[in-house]
Amino acid sequence: MADHYEALGVSRDATGDEIKKAYRKLARELHPDVNPDPAIQERFKEVTAAYDTLSDPQKRQQYDMGGSNMGGFGGFGGAGGFSDIMDAFFGGGTSNRGPRPRMRAGQDALIRIEVDLNEACFGTERSITLESAVVCPKCTGSGCADNSTPQTCPICKGRGETQQVTRSFIGQVMTSRPCNNCGGYGSTIPNPCRECSGDGRVRARQTIDIKVPAGVETGNRIQMSGRGEVGAGGGPAGDLYVEIVETPHETLMRDGDTLHLALSVSMVAATLGTKVQIETLDGPTEVEVKAGTQSGATITVKGKGMTHLRRGTRGDLIVHVEVKTPTKLNKAEEELMRKFAELRGEKAGEVEIKDHDQSFFHKLRDAFGR
């Protein structure tokens, strides 16, 4: 077999860059896709084998000392390999070679907490306990026991990958895959930590204090940086997301920053007017039902609604009045109602049909913004 330096046309003291430059130039000229001549294909294999040896410092040293050329099978080289063939033809490479890092970033975590309407309006603080991955307290994330350290993998020599020669339409091709012995890390842990089995993290319960801001509602998420799962090898923790679930209130209904309350009053109270106490998030509040109030009328109580999450201002409380019509009247009550109708000049069976702009439908349309 020809001398590797002569095959590439470089001197014995050529630098790594000079060797790579010479190989790329020859690969462009000799590649089987460019020149299918069998003799040229043999020359291409010879050049590739030479580059495989001379581009690897250990193989080159052994070759210079008269040892095996380590590349006699004519495959694509370990240090340059297929990516350098691609470099030669397409002007660049995207090789991601190298061992995988043992320390990796952790994942984000998501939890849900329930808050009542009062807590959603004014904010609250919670302490929650959850289980997640934390740095192993025994080895502090190294994965090694007794202050030991990872050792270079004897199979892949720290590269994190092994190579295999296969045949293809362009000749012999060397493919790389993660090393089975070290899992692609380039190193092994001969003495793994007994607490975390070499992972650098363990599952543990921890208590986290959460500040829920005023104005939150169902679906809002609070991001807590670095409070998620710790990564393998003691890597940086991900984020913790706290999702809000608002529980229904017994009497109040929320619509954004506005609260709604249904108030039922008697026909007499609606007719003569009255003042009533209603329960709000701020405590008891007095509202006035004016004389002649009709069923379906609303009373707006300013500033008694929900807190706006960003502005910090309060919305309104809308009181929806329902006038209760009496049922099951006794004879005396019926007689009074007839006298009342007579005094007002009303007759049984008299009705008035209003157009849309004056009727219930107009109020309904306004309520829904249509």
State how far the Cα of 51 lies from the Cα of 364, in Å rounded to an integer: 83
Binning pLDDT at 50, 70 and 90, where does residue 91 land? Answer: very low
Binning pLDDT at 50, 70 and 90, where does residue 265 land? Answer: very high
The 8-class DSSP code of residue 107 comes to P
Average pLDDT of the chain to the nearest whole number:
83
pLDDT of residue 363: 53
pLDDT tens profile 229-252: 999 988 999 999 999 999 999 999
Most confident of 73-77, 81-85, 176-180, 219-223: 219-223
Residue 116 has pLDDT above 50, yes or no: yes
pLDDT of residue 243: 94
Please answer whether residues 199 and 136 qualify as being in contact, where contact means their C-beta atoms are separated by less than 8 angstroms.
yes
Domains of the chain are: 4-90 (1.10.287.110), 109-149+189-246 (2.60.260.20), 337-370 (no CATH)
Please answer whether residues 269 and 289 qualify as being in contact, where contact means their C-beta atoms are separated by less than 8 angstroms.
yes
Q: Mean pLDDT, to the nearest integer, of 276-281?
A: 94
Report residue 6 as tokens: 């002569």
Chain-centre distance for alpha carbon 258: 31
Helical segments of the chain, H only: 4-8, 16-30, 38-54, 57-64, 81-90, 117-122, 267-272, 331-344, 360-367
Q: Mean pLDDT, to the nearest integer, of 205-221?
A: 94
pLDDT of residue 192: 93
* Greater model confidence, 202 or 35: 202
pLDDT of residue 78: 41
Q: Which of 267, 273, 300, 269 is nearest to 285 (CA)?
A: 300
pLDDT tens profile 26-68: 877 776 666 677 777 788 888 888 888 888 887 887 777 655 4
Least reliable range by pLDDT among 6-15, 20-29, 100-109, 166-175: 166-175
pLDDT of residue 32: 65
* Greater model confidence, 353 or 138: 138
Q: Which of 29, 19, 26 is nearest to 52 (CA)?
A: 19
Using CA atoms, how far residue 30 sits from 24, 34, 45, 229, in Å, is 10, 7, 9, 52
Q: What is the CA radius of gyration of the chain?
A: 41
Q: Which residue has the tokens 């842990």?
A: 189
State how far the Cα of 28 lies from the Cα of 34, in Å rounded to an integer: 8
Please answer whether residues 178 and 184 qualify as being in contact, where contact means their C-beta atoms are separated by less than 8 angstroms.
yes
pLDDT of residue 2: 67
Strand positions, DSSP E, 119-231:
124-135, 151-152, 161-168, 171-178, 187-188, 201-212, 221-224
Q: Which of 244, 293, 297 is nearest to 273 (CA)?
A: 293
Residue 184 has pLDDT above 80, yes or no: yes
State how far the Cα of 316 lies from the Cα of 15, in Å rounded to an integer: 78
Least reliable range by pLDDT among 16-25, 47-56, 66-75, 288-297: 66-75
- Does the predicted model carry a pTM greater than 0.75? no
Q: Mean pLDDT, to the nearest integer, of 259-285?
A: 94
Residue 349 has pLDDT above 80, yes or no: no
